Amino acid sequence: MIFGYARVSSKDQNLERQLKELEEYGCDKIYYEKRSAKDFDRPVYREMRSKMRFGDVLVVHDLSRFGRNKKEIHNEWKSLIDEEIDIVVLNMPILDTRKYKELESVGQLVSDLVLALFSWMVEEERLRNKEAQREGIEIAKKKAKYKGGTLRYHANAVGKDKIVYEEVVRMLKDKESVMDIHRRTRLSRNTIYKIKRELESQLMNQ
């Protein structure tokens, strides 16, 4: 039986392209889920694996469907091979274990080398994306636009925002609770905590 597995990491990502590829490949059964690859706590994937048997085939779009680092990818690949389940990676045609059944050790060597290379590339891409995200957050912070919008309440604010900011600062210095300040100013507790942390940081640097 040919199983297809599709996954994206978050609910706002689209599965359609992967599902279409799996359908066109001719998968008998397709499983899909929206779940992070940070670990293998994926109920749909686990359900699919529990149904797979000797001689079945697992088809995925790319290696990152198995995990986000070399170790995870290798471990899952080995687990499938040990159970004599074949693997097809659609965007890497050389990673089709059925091609090497008659080549014995040579075919296994080719598969192992290619798997090692591409699993390394998957991890490197994840690390690059993570670093780019971190840099983007730092840039956004410097522009006072982190977490969805321009920072309104700060020491250099003007007009009404400045008045609200100074009132929050006064109440914090008077040791009023964040909840009381929230009730009186209607500012979010996250905003009040942020102002509080800034004040504490200023005091520590004095």
Which are the catalytic amino acids? 9
DSSP 30: E
CB 67 within 8 A of CB 73: yes
Q: Containing H/E element for 77?
A: helix 70-82
Sheet with 29-34: strands ordered across: 29-34, 2-8, 57-60, 86-89
Q: How far does CA 43 lie from the centroid of its chain?
A: 17
Alpha-carbon span 205 to 185, nearest angstrom: 28
Q: What letter would DSSP give residue 149?
A: S
- Any long-range contacts for 29-32 (C-beta under 8 Å, 24+ apart)? 29/1, 29/2, 29/3, 29/4, 30/3, 30/4, 30/5, 30/6, 31/3, 31/4, 31/5, 31/6, 32/5, 32/6, 32/7
The two tokens of residue 117 are 């290379």
